[in-house]
């Protein structure tokens, strides 16, 4: 049985160098100032497959015999492990079959196919895809590469911790995303082997907190449902083989809401010019939940594979959440010059009009009132409140509406 020992971690660190990019820590002035800590980002979204999963997949496949690789490899994944296995299988000249949930973003499906893998879409969540992959492995004799419940895979993922500590030996806290638990297992175990004083905090989506539930119950638990925009960590049941490592080495688990991930995406794009997928943003969103200051903190950005449609939606919702975009409704008489008056008030206070909707049928008496809905761009909450106050002072009695572009 493969054990997570220092010797194995050292071996894995040398092996994964054959396929990984160097992802040096990025100091974040923005997050450091906003949290009172010294925050560093570990940008695994910059890996060749767009995520850290290449580490565990490649190391695991490197430990297989020629016979096991010759049978063909199969796995189940919401996307990032899929690409890692597909890439590693191609490097070793092995066939790869990947079962992915039907809800997997298109970019992850296409990228997986681009590495030469056969992709099968099955089930709504990872757990359903995984069950189907086991059936196919049994039927065709494929070698199964588990995305997280495998000590060898976890060892490969843990090589991230080796790099973090080499670059920042005095790190106080490492924040790691948790889906099934493979990354957290590898990182936390190696961190504690190298320096037991370093704290490891796992971060899960509030709507898919299977590891937190399992820790609280003292045994692996299965959630009835999962609901989160962090598709890479939408797992109902964590790994059983790796669970004891999590119990022993992860100091705390934090959960974050989907809305926090939306805002975190905007922060990363604007302040670091980085595309990070929702699961990778878990450790960024968790920064504001930390109950300490003046510590050196590393947030692991696990991946950056986000399709453009999702990206556009997240940006829009992030702007709305930050009051950078809002919609206001005013009633005004249906006569020439009224629209100009409203526009003048907004222009005076530097509001930028994005969209106008004019509804003449809000009242049976059009001369008394028609509704004008205005979608505006503002600098933030204070600026929004300034514009609302100015409209009130002009007698328009503005009402906020659900904003949309």
Rounded distance between C-alpha atoms, residue 350 and residue 274, angstroms = 29
Q: Write out the residue limits of the CATH 3.40.50.1100 domain(s) in the chain.
A: 6-51+150-301, 54-144
Q: Tell me what pLDDT residue 365 has.
A: 59
Four-way CATH pick for 6-51+150-301: 1.20.1250.20, 3.30.413.10, 3.40.50.1100, 3.40.720.10: 3.40.50.1100
In degrees, to the nearest 5, what angle opens at C-alpha 261 toward C-alphas 56 and 327?
A: 155
pLDDT in tens, the chain (405 residues): 568 999 999 999 999 999 999 999 999 999 999 999 999 999 999 999 999 999 999 999 999 999 999 999 999 987 789 999 999 999 999 999 999 989 887 878 888 999 999 999 999 888 899 999 999 999 999 999 999 999 999 999 999 999 999 999 999 999 999 999 999 999 999 999 999 999 999 999 999 999 999 999 999 999 999 999 998 898 999 999 999 999 999 999 999 999 999 999 999 999 999 999 999 999 999 999 999 999 999 999 999 988 888 888 888 888 988 899 999 999 888 778 888 889 999 999 999 999 988 876 666 555 567 888 999 999 999 999 999 999 999 888 899 988 776
Q: Write out the residue limits of the CATH 3.30.70.260 domain(s) in the chain.
A: 323-401
Asked if 306 contacts 335 with a C-beta cutoff of 8 angstroms, the reply is no
Rounded distance between C-alpha atoms, residue 350 and residue 312, angstroms = 25
- Residues 53, 303, 175, 54: what is their CA dihedral angle, to the nearest 10 degrees? 20
Asked if 275 contacts 269 with a C-beta cutoff of 8 angstroms, the reply is yes
Question: Can you count the helices (H) and strands (E) in the chain?
Answer: 16, 14
Is the CATH code 3.40.50.1100 the one for domain 54-144?
yes
Q: Tell me what pLDDT residue 366 has.
A: 56
Is the CATH code 3.30.70.260 the one for domain 323-401?
yes
Which segments of 223-301 does DSSP mark as H helices, in order?
A: 243-249, 258-272, 282-285
Q: Which residues are catalytic?
A: 53, 302
């Amino acid at each position: 049985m493969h054990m997570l020992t220092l010797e194995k971690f050292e071996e894995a660190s040398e092996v994964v160098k054959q396929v990984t990019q160097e992802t040096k820590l990025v100091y974040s002035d923005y997050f450091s100032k906003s949290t009172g800590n010294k925050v560093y980002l570990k940008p695994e979204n910059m890996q060749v497959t767009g995520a850290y999963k290449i580490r565990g997949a490649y190391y695991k496949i490197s430990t297989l015999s020629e016979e096991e690789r010759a049978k063909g490899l199969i796995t189940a994944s919401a996307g990032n492990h899929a690409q890692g296995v597909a890439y590693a299988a191609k490097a070793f000249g092995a066939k790869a079959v990947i079962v992915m949930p039907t809800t997997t973003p298109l970019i992850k499906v296409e990228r997986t196919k681009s590495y030469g893998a056969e992709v099968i879409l099955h089930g709504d969540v990872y757990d359903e895809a995984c069950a189907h992959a086991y059936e196919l492995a049994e039927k065709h004799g494929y070698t199964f590469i588990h995305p997280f419940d495998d000590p060898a895979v976890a060892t490969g993922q843990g090589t991230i911790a080796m790099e973090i500590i080499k670059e920042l030996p005095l790190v106080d806290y490492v924040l790691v995303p948790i889906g099934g638990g493979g990354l957290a297992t590898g990182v936390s175990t190696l961190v504690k082997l190298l320096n037991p004083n370093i704290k490891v905090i796992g971060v899960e989506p509030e709507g898919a907190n299977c590891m937190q539930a399992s820790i609280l119950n003292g045994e692996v638990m299965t959630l009835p449902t999962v609901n989160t925009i962090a598709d890479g960590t939408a797992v109902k049941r964590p790994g059983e083989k790796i669970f004891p490592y999590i119990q022993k080495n992860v100091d705390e688990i934090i959960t974050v809401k989907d809305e926090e991930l939306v805002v975190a995406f905007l922060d990363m794009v604007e302040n670091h010019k980085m595309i990070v997928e929702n699961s990778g943003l878990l450790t960024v969103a968790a920064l504001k939940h930390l109950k300490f200051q003046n510590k050196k903190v590393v947030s692991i950005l696990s991946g950056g594979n986000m399709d453009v449609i999702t990206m556009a939606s997240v940006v829009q919702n992030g702007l709305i959440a930050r009051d950078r975009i809002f919609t206001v409704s005013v009633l005004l008489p249906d006569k020439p010059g009224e629209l100009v008056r409203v526009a003048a008030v907004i222009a005076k206070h530097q509001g930028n009009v994005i969209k106008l909707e004019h509804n003449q049928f809000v009242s049976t008496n059009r001369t008394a009132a028609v509704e004008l809905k205005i979608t505006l761009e503002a600098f933030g909450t204070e600026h929004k409140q300034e514009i609302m106050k100015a409209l009130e002072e002009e007698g328009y009695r503005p009402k906020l509406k659900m904003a949309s572009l």
